[in-house]
Amino acid sequence: RPRASSSPPWRMGAFAGTRGAVARGVLVLGLVLMVVGWAEGSGAGAVSKVNHPRPPLLKRQGLAREAHNSSAGGGGVPTAKKDSSLDPANLLVVVIAALILVYASHRALRPPFMDMSPGSGEAMAYEEQAEAGEMQLQTAFVFVVVASCSLMLIFYFMSAMAVLITILFSFIAALALGALVYPYADAWTNNRFSKEIDIPWLGPIPQLFFVLLPFCAAVVLGWLLTKSWILNNVLAISLIIFFLTSVRLSSLKVASALLILAFFYDIFWVFLSSNIFGQNVMVKVATGLDVPIKILVPLFFSTGTDLQFTLIGLGDIVLPGLLLCFAMRFDDSKGVPLTAGYFAATMVGYCVGLTVCEIVVGCFHLAQPAMIYLVPGTLIPFAYMAHSRGELGEAWEGLTGHSTHQRLSDDGV
């Protein structure tokens, strides 16, 4: 299959313009950040079985931490009062997560301003680059092992790891923000800065990257200095789109393995880890790090003069989002409208699962990691629709490409 040579590589994805080894290294560092975001979301939902675990109380001047004698092992995380009720912001979180996933899935399928018509050079070049980021079955198992090891490192070496994670977050967030705005900036400047400069270890990098670099660095620096929840959300959304357009699942088999492992990962580290390690590992990590790898939504009915927020960890968006991206690709390969296919069914399941989690947490004040709702909420609708249409075997084995009406692979490779 011929390679296209006319498309600026940085338009094809976050890593298309970098050399393979460096790109994979950056992606691994980013996945560690996803683990932290996963812990932030799961731990925040399990801080206390008495107090409302969402939202945490966040001061306008940074993330102020107050003493709190909860089951978090003395880590101390500020939470809303235990008599608080469900706030409209809890449901707004669901809407925001769904909108992000719709955009990210569309962008992963057809990047902005690229000719993705069947047989086009850009479409073939993008497909080659995207296939390099496919997660295979063994990778799903490795990811959960790496996630567990990362949690343990943070648990035992909190001070040192907090500094390291802040540095990693700043680097990856700047790169993710640049990748998010790059195609729009490229189109707005009429490709005037698309000429490439060969950088050692990185390869050819377009001039526009260096034009955007000060802007991205300024946003990250602004967050570091102010801890602004708005800048936090800008960077968090950039990270979500960054990973959902850089990594994709190759089949329903891989999606099932990843999400089921995530399901039991959450159960173990949230509910069972204290029996082994003496403290709740997930909660300590979530409450001990001042790294906002989560989306914050201000409460409509907060009490006092300080802002209060509800939140969702990035892992609770990215991991189910990988299945949603696969569902959109599968619909596209079958020529099925998105409103009547696997993507719509899986998205409805995601929204229902996240809504139920928010209601249980907001109304009954029970510790509820979101993944125990999101995994069945996304996998069951997809599998049921595939079984009812007689396409379960095809979905299970996977796709060879995402192009419109792309033929399914006969051997599932």
Q: What is the dihedral of CA 40, 383, 348, 134, to 10 degrees?
A: 50
Q: Decide if 306 contacts 176 (C-beta within 8 A).
A: no
Q: Is 279 helix (H, G, I), strand (E, B) or coil?
A: coil
What are φ and ψ of residue 291, in 5° steps?
A: -120, 105
- Establish whether 316 is a catalytic residue: yes
In order of 54, 93, 112, 255, the CA distances from 186 in angstroms are 40, 31, 10, 34
Short-list 122, 110, 112, 133, CA closest to 3: 122
Would you call 411 a catalytic residue per the annotation? no
Q: Which of 316, 331, 332, 411 is catalytic?
A: 316
- Alpha carbons 216 and 61: distance in angstroms, whole number: 22
Tell me if 120 sits within 8 A of 95, measured CB to CB: no
Strands 79-80 vs 52-56: parallel, antiparallel or unpaired: antiparallel
Of the residues 266, 290, 332, 411, only one is catalytic, namely 266
Distance from C-alpha of 26 to C-alpha of 86, rounded to nearest angstrom: 39
The residues that bridge with 291 in the sheet, in sequence order, are: none
The catalytic residues are 266, 316
